[in-house]
Amino acid sequence: MLDYHLHLWPHSEHDTPLRPEQLADYCARAREAGVTELALTEHLFRFRQADALLGGFWDDGRVPPALAESMADYWKFHATADLDAYVECALEAKAAGLPVVIGLEVDYYEGRMDDVARLLADYPFDVLLGSVHWVGGWRFDDLSDPVSMQEWSTRQVDACWEAYTEALEELAATRACDVLAHPDLIKVAGHVPAAPQEWWDRMAEAAVSSGMAAEVSSAGWRKPVGEQYPALGLLERFVAGGVALTTASDAHHLEHVADRADDLRALLTAAGVRTLQGYRSRRPYPVAVEG
């Protein structure tokens, strides 16, 4: 088993020092859960290098002022770390024999993914997660932000799923990343269409056509939606389409590392999945679900 989605800092913190012993603690907890390899995947937007390249992407005239202001504050708070220091810390952990690979969680930036790819090309990443955390300037999954959550009361759920799915399709088509993280994240606050099958079909097709893997994550069990990512119907579509899979906790705290790994293992086994996909230098290799 893998835990291929881990963060070093909770969203409530910034300017937090990198601590190699934190990675050792992560690995020890994962080992207890039968997880053999971890991927460090901090958000790209938390680094100053991303700020220099992408900061202000929301100032395009299409984002409502309240959302633009919220995004500007959010970005300013988080974009404080140094990407070079992060990579060096991960390399030290690998050199010390810890079972970690170096990655990032890369949000989708409309029309800017070529710029992102150039920024990341010279770093020794093993895996890049592609994710959609905002539609335009709306952080639909920021449960702690009243401005963002208020939008759910003014938007149609089907329209939100459509906009999210379009962004996911565009992200996958760029082939800038290796794995679709929490692929149906749009459901995080518990807003699910009466008939989500159309969007599940398109999410699965995006993975198939791009060759990307998809993440099976326990994080949704800790959110209002109360189920794993992806939903069972979407997971079945990934399996039927031959989409490679990773497993993840999306932990921001030690206590969530390898969270509910046994439940993920059981879910995959029931779906007929025997092999996951690990990465080295962005090249895939097989990892057994069991053992």
How many CA atoms does the CB half-sphere of 149 hold within 13 Å? 9
Residue 23 has pLDDT above 80, yes or no: yes
Q: Which are the contacts of 167, defined by CB distance < 8 A and separation ≥ 6?
A: 108, 110, 132, 135
Q: Pinpoint the alpha helices (H) of 141-284.
A: 146-150, 157-174, 197-210, 232-240, 261-270
The CA angle 200-206-212, to the nearest 5 degrees, is 120
Sorted by where each starts, the structural domains of the chain and their CATH numbers stand as 2-288 (3.20.20.140)
Average pLDDT over residues 8-26: 90
What is the residue whose two structure tokens read 């039927």? 240
Q: Partners of 279 in the beta sheet?
A: 284
Whether the per-residue pLDDT at 81 is higher than 70: the answer is yes
| For range 39-49, the mean pLDDT | 97
Please report, as a single letter, which amino acid is at residue 7. Answer: H
Query: Bridge partners of 150?
Result: none
Helix count and strand count (H, E) for the chain: 10, 9
pLDDT band at 30 (very low <50, low <70, confident <90, very high): very high
**pLDDT-based confidence at residue 50 (cuts at 50, 70, 90):** very high
Q: Given pLDDT bands bounded at 50, 70 and 90, which one contains residue 290?
A: confident
Residue 144's pLDDT is 96
Q: Say what the pTM is.
A: 0.97
Write the pLDDT tens digit of every residue in 213-265.
999 999 999 999 999 999 999 999 999 999 999 999 999 999 999 999 999 99
Specify the higher pLDDT residue, 20 or 134: 134
pLDDT greater than 90 at residue 61: no
DSSP class of 251: B
Banded pLDDT at 24 (limits 50, 70, 90):
very high
Q: CA end-to-end span of the chain, whole Å?
A: 8
Do the Cβ atoms of 54 and 117 come closer than 8 Å? no
* Predicted confidence band of residue 17 (pLDDT cuts 50, 70, 90): confident
Alpha-carbon gap, residue 250 to 222, rounded angstroms: 10
Calculate mean pLDDT across residues 72-89. Answer: 96
Residue 91: count of CB within 10 angstroms of its CB? 13
pLDDT tens, position by position, 142-179: 999 999 999 999 999 999 999 999 999 999 999 999 99
pLDDT above 70 covers a percentage of the chain that reads 100
At residue 291, the pLDDT reads 63
Read off the tokens for 125: 């990443």
